[in-house]
C-alpha cells in the first residue's frame, strides 16, 4: 500500500511538474507574444499618430495661408495703398509706413510690395533685398500665367525656409497695378508650436546630398537635430517614409515627408515619437502579467461561482441599457469596473452610446453651420469627391463699401451689424427655396436648384432678390433711426448648367457648384457697382428666359465679362419691378 502511495505520489509529482512545465512554457510563450504584439501595436499606433500629425501640420499651413491671403485681399481694397501706387512718383517712405501699419494689423512677419514687373518697392524686413525676392517673383509669374487671385508655396528668403503668399493689387479690378507679398517663417518657434499641438518632436531639414544636409528648424537640441538631418534618406516618395531610428541612445519611430520648394531641391519635415515612451504602459503590464495569470489559474476553481454570478448580473444590466438605447435614451451609461471581456463590452457600449449622442449633436450642429438641404445631402451621401450636372440659378449678393464702414466701427459692432444683415437676407433666400452655399465675408452665394432640384428656380431667385432689396430698405430705416449709416448691396443672378457636388480634398469636403455660370453670376454682381447701370440687381438673359411669364425688366445692353468670349445680354430689376418699362420682356 505504501509503495502504491509513493508510486502515485511520484506520478502526481511528475504530472504536476509536467503541467507546471507546460504552463511555464505557455506563459513564457504568451509573454513573448504579448511583448512582440505590444511592440508592433506601439509602432503601428505611433505611425497612425504621425500620419495625423502631418495632417495637423498641413492644416496649420493652410490656415495661415488663408488667413494672410484674405487679410492681404482686404488690405488691397484700401484706398490709401491704391492712391500711393497710382501717384506719378511713388513715395517709398510713405509706402513703407503704410506697409508697417498693415503688417501690424495682420500680424504678418514679413510684408512686401512689388510693382507689376515683380520689382520689390518696399518691405517691413530691413534685411530683405530685391535680389533675394526671386521666390516672390516666381509666385507672381505663376499667378499671372494661370489667372489666379493668389499664389503660395514654400521657399527660401535669406537662406531661411518660409511660406510665401502673393496677392494682386487692383485699381480697379481686373487691372493689376502691383502685388502684395507675405512670408511667415518655418522656424524654431513654428516647430515648438506644432509640438505643443501634436506632442511630437519636429525637425525641418534641407539638402539631398550627404554634405549639404542642414537643420532649418527643430524642437530638439542642435546635436540631436543634426543627427536627424544626417539620418534622413536621400530619396523620398511623395507620401514620405516611416522608419525606426536611434536618437540619443533611444529608439524613435520617425516619419520623413517632403516639402516641395519653388524651383529648388525639396526640404523635409521630420516627425518623431519615442517608442520606449509608447511602450512604457505595456512594459508594466508585461511585468505583472505572469503573476496575474498564475493567480487567476490557482483561484479559478474557487471563484467559478462568483464569476458566474459576476457574468449574469452585468449581462442583465447590458440588456436593460440596450433597451433604453433602442428607445432613444443615449444618456445610459454602465459603471462596470473590471478588466475582463465584460468590462471591455461595457466600455464599448458606453463609447457606442456616446457616439450615438455625438452623431445626433453633429447632425443638429451641421444643420446650423450649413443649410438644412446641404446637411441632409451630406448625411445621406457617401461623402465622395465629385458631382453631377444640374440646371442651377446662382445668386451672388455683396455689400458695398462695407470695409470702409467697418473701419469706423468697433469689431464687435461690425460683427453684430453683419450678422443682423445676413440673418435677414438668409431668411428671405430660404423662404424662397434657396440654399445658402457659403458666406464670403459680407457676401452671400445662394443656389436655387441644388442640392434639391427646383423647376421654378429662376423665378424664385428673382423673387428672393426683390424681397432682399425691400428688406434692406426696412433695415436701413432702422439703422438711420439708430444713427447708423445705411447699407447698400448689389445682386447678380444667372442660370446655367453647372457641376454640383462635394468639392475639396479627401479630408475636408464642401458641397458647392462650379462652372462658368457661377463665375458669370459673380461678374454680374460686380457690374452693379457701375453707376452707369443705376441698378442694384442685374440678371442674365438666361435667367429671364427661364421665367414664364417673363418679368418686366430694363435692358442694359450687352457686356463682355472677364472669362467669356461672347457678349452677354443683361437686364436690370428693381425691388418692385419697373413701373413704366420701355418694353416688356
CA atoms within 13 A on the CB side of 262: 22
Identify whether 177 is part of a domain.
yes
Identify whether 3 is part of a domain.
no
- Whether residues 440 and 315 share a domain: the answer is no
pLDDT at 445: 94
**How much helix, strand and coil, in percent to the nearest 5, is found in the chain?**
50, 25, 25
Q: How many domains does the chain have?
A: 4
Rounded CA-CA distance 192/219 in Å is 6
- Whether residues 172 and 314 share a domain: the answer is no
Cell 447678380 belongs to residue: 492
Which residues are CB-neighbours of 116 under 8 A, at least 6 positions away? 176, 177, 178, 179
Give per-residue pLDDT as tens, 28-56.
Answer: 787 788 878 888 888 888 889 988 998 99
* Region of 577 on the Ramachandran plot (φ > 0 left; ψ -120 to 50 alpha; else beta): left
For residue 202, what are the β-bridge partners? 271
- Whether residues 131 and 179 share a domain: the answer is yes
Give per-residue pLDDT as tens, 188-201.
Answer: 999 999 999 999 99
Rounded CA-CA distance 338/473 in Å is 67
Cβ-based burial of 164 (10 A; exposed 0-12, middle 13-18, buried ≥19): buried
For 130, the domain range is 77-185
Kindly indicate the confidence band of residue 1, based on its pLDDT and cuts at 50, 70 and 90.
Answer: very low
The mean-pLDDT minimum among 219-233, 261-275, 364-378 falls in 364-378
Give per-residue pLDDT as tens, 518-564.
Answer: 999 999 999 999 898 989 999 999 999 999 888 888 999 898 876 66
The mean-pLDDT minimum among 352-361, 374-383, 483-492 falls in 374-383
Which residues are CB-neighbours of 64 under 8 A, at least 6 positions away? 163, 184
For residue 152, what are the β-bridge partners? 165
Q: Answer with the one of 277, 293, 326 that is the final residue of a domain.
A: 277
Give per-residue pLDDT as tens, 334-343.
Answer: 766 666 666 6
The mean-pLDDT minimum among 203-212, 265-274, 373-382, 467-476 falls in 373-382
pLDDT at 239: 72
DSSP helix/strand/coil, 491: strand
Q: Answer with the one of 155, 185, 215 that is the final residue of a domain.
A: 185
The CATH number of whichever domain residue 430 belongs to comes to: 3.30.70.1230
DSSP helix/strand/coil, 83: helix
- Whether residues 272 and 324 share a domain: the answer is no
Cell 424681397 belongs to residue: 467
Beta carbons of 274 and 246 less than 8 angstroms apart: no
The CATH number of whichever domain residue 123 belongs to comes to: 3.30.450.20
Beta carbons of 90 and 163 less than 8 angstroms apart: no
- Whether residues 390 and 417 share a domain: the answer is yes
| Separation of CA 278 from chain center | 29
- Whether residues 454 and 565 share a domain: the answer is yes
Identify whether 447 is part of a domain.
yes
Identify whether 443 is part of a domain.
yes
Beta carbons of 103 and 111 less than 8 angstroms apart: yes
- Whether residues 391 and 533 share a domain: the answer is yes
Identify whether 6 is part of a domain.
no
- Whether residues 389 and 528 share a domain: the answer is yes
Which residues are CB-neighbours of 284 under 8 A, at least 6 positions away? none
Per the structure block, which three cell numbers stand in for 155? 521657399
- Whether residues 352 and 392 share a domain: the answer is no
Identify whether 444 is part of a domain.
yes
Beta carbons of 68 and 184 less than 8 angstroms apart: yes
pLDDT at 584: 30
Give per-residue pLDDT as tens, 110-168.
Answer: 999 998 888 998 898 888 888 888 889 999 999 888 888 899 998 888 888 889 999 99
pLDDT at 435: 92
**E strands in 26-175:** 110-114, 120-123, 151-157, 160-170
Kindly indicate the confidence band of residue 300, based on its pLDDT and cuts at 50, 70 and 90.
Answer: low
Decide the pairing of beta strands 489-504 and 537-540. parallel
Residue of 211 and 347 predicted with greater confidence:
347
Residue of 109 and 20 predicted with greater confidence:
109
Tell whether the model's pLDDT for residue 304 goes beyond 50. Answer: no
Q: Answer with the one of 227, 259, 277 that is the final residue of a domain.
A: 277
Q: What percent of the chain has pLDDT over 70?
A: 78
Taking residues 397-413, what's their average pLDDT? 86
- Does residue 174 have a cis peptide bond before it, meaning omega lies within 30 degrees of 0? yes
- Whether residues 538 and 415 share a domain: the answer is yes
Give per-residue pLDDT as tens, 473-488.
Answer: 999 999 999 988 899 9
The mean-pLDDT minimum among 182-191, 311-320, 494-503 falls in 311-320
- Considering the entire predicted model, what is its pTM? 0.47
Tell whether the model's pLDDT for residue 11 goes beyond 80. Answer: no
Beta carbons of 538 and 524 less than 8 angstroms apart: yes
- Whether residues 526 and 461 share a domain: the answer is yes
Residue of 267 and 335 predicted with greater confidence:
267
Identify whether 397 is part of a domain.
yes
Identify whether 37 is part of a domain.
no
- Whether residues 547 and 496 share a domain: the answer is yes
Amino acid at each position: 500500500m505504501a509503495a502504491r502511495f509513493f508510486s502515485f505520489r511520484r506520478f502526481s509529482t511528475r504530472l504536476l511538474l509536467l503541467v507546471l512545465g507546460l504552463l511555464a512554457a505557455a506563459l513564457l510563450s504568451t509573454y513573448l507574444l504579448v511583448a512582440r504584439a505590444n511592440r508592433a501595436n506601439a509602432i503601428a499606433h505611433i505611425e497612425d499618430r504621425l500620419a495625423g500629425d502631418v495632417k495637423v501640420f498641413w492644416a496649420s499651413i493652410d490656415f495661415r495661408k488663408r488667413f494672410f491671403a484674405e487679410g492681404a485681399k482686404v488690405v488691397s481694397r484700401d484706398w490709401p495703398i491704391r492712391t500711393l501706387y497710382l501717384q506719378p512718383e511713388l513715395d517709398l517712405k510713405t509706402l513703407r509706413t503704410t506697409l508697417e501699419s498693415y503688417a501690424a494689423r495682420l500680424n504678418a512677419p514679413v510684408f512686401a510690395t512689388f510693382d507689376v514687373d515683380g520689382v520689390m518697392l518696399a518691405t517691413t524686413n530691413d534685411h530683405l533685398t530685391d535680389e533675394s525676392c526671386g521666390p516672390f517673383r516666381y509666385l507672381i509669374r505663376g499667378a499671372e500665367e494661370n489667372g489666379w487671385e493668389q499664389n503660395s508655396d514654400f521657399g527660401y528668403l535669406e537662406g531661411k525656409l518660409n511660406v510665401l503668399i502673393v496677392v494682386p493689387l487692383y485699381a480697379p479690378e481686373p487691372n493689376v497695378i502691383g502685388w502684395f507679398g507675405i512670408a511667415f517663417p518655418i522656424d524654431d518657434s513654428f516647430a515648438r508650436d506644432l509640438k505643443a499641438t501634436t506632442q511630437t518632436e519636429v525637425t525641418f531639414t534641407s539638402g539631398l546630398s550627404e554634405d549639404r544636409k542642414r537643420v532649418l528648424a527643430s524642437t530638439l537640441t542642435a546635436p540631436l537635430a543634426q543627427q536627424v538631418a544626417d539620418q534622413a534618406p536621400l530619396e523620398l516618395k511623395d507620401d514620405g517614409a516611416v522608419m525606426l531610428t536611434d536618437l540619443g541612445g533611444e529608439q524613435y519611430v520617425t516619419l520623413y515627408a517632403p516639402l516641395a520648394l519653388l524651383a529648388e531641391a525639396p526640404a523635409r519635415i521630420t516627425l518623431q515619437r519615442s517608442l520606449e515612451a509608447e511602450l512604457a504602459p505595456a512594459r508594466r503590464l508585461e511585468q505583472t502579467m505572469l503573476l496575474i495569470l498564475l493567480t487567476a489559474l490557482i483561484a479559478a476553481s474557487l471563484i467559478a461561482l462568483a464569476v458566474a454570478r459576476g457574468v449574469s448580473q452585468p449581462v442583465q444590466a447590458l440588456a436593460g441599457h440596450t433597451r433604453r438605447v433602442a428607445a432613444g435614451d443615449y444618456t445610459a451609461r454602465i459603471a462596470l469596473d473590471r478588466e475582463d471581456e465584460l468590462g471591455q463590452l461595457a466600455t464599448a457600449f458606453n463609447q457606442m452610446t456616446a457616439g450615438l449622442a455625438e452623431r445626433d449633436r453633429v447632425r443638429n450642429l451641421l444643420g446650423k453651420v450649413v443649410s438644412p438641404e446641404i446637411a441632409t445631402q451630406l448625411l445621406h451621401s457617401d461623402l465622395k469627391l465629385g458631382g453631377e450636372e444640374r440646371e442651377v440659378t446662382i445668386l451672388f449678393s455683396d455689400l458695398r463699401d462695407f470695409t470702409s464702414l467697418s473701419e469706423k466701427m468697433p469689431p464687435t459692432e461690425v460683427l453684430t451689424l453683419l450678422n443682423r444683415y445676413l440673418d435677414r437676407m438668409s431668411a428671405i433666400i430660404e423662404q424662397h427655396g434657396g440654399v445658402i452655399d457659403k458666406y464670403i465675408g459680407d457676401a452671400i452665394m445662394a443656389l436655387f436648384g441644388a442640392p434639391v432640384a427646383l423647376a421654378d428656380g429662376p423665378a424664385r431667385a428673382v423673387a428672393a432678390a426683390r424681397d432682399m432689396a425691400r428688406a434692406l430698405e426696412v433695415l436701413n430705416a432702422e439703422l438711420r433711426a439708430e444713427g447708423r449709416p445705411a447699407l447698400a448691396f448689389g445682386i447678380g443672378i444667372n442660370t446655367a448648367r453647372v457641376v454640383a457636388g462635394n468639392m475639396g480634398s479627401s479630408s475636408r469636403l464642401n458641397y458647392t457648384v462650379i462652372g462658368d455660370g457661377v463665375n458669370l453670376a459673380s461678374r454680374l454682381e460686380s457690374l452693379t457697382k457701375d453707376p452707369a447701370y443705376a441698378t442694384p440687381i442685374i440678371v442674365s438673359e438666361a435667367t429671364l428666359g427661364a421665367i414664364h411669364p417673363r418679368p418686366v425688366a430694363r435692358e442694359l445692353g450687352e457686356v463682355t465679362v472677364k472669362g467669356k468670349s461672347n457678349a452677354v445680354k443683361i437686364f436690370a430689376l428693381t425691388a418692385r419691378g419697373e413701373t413704366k418699362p420701355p418694353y416688356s420682356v
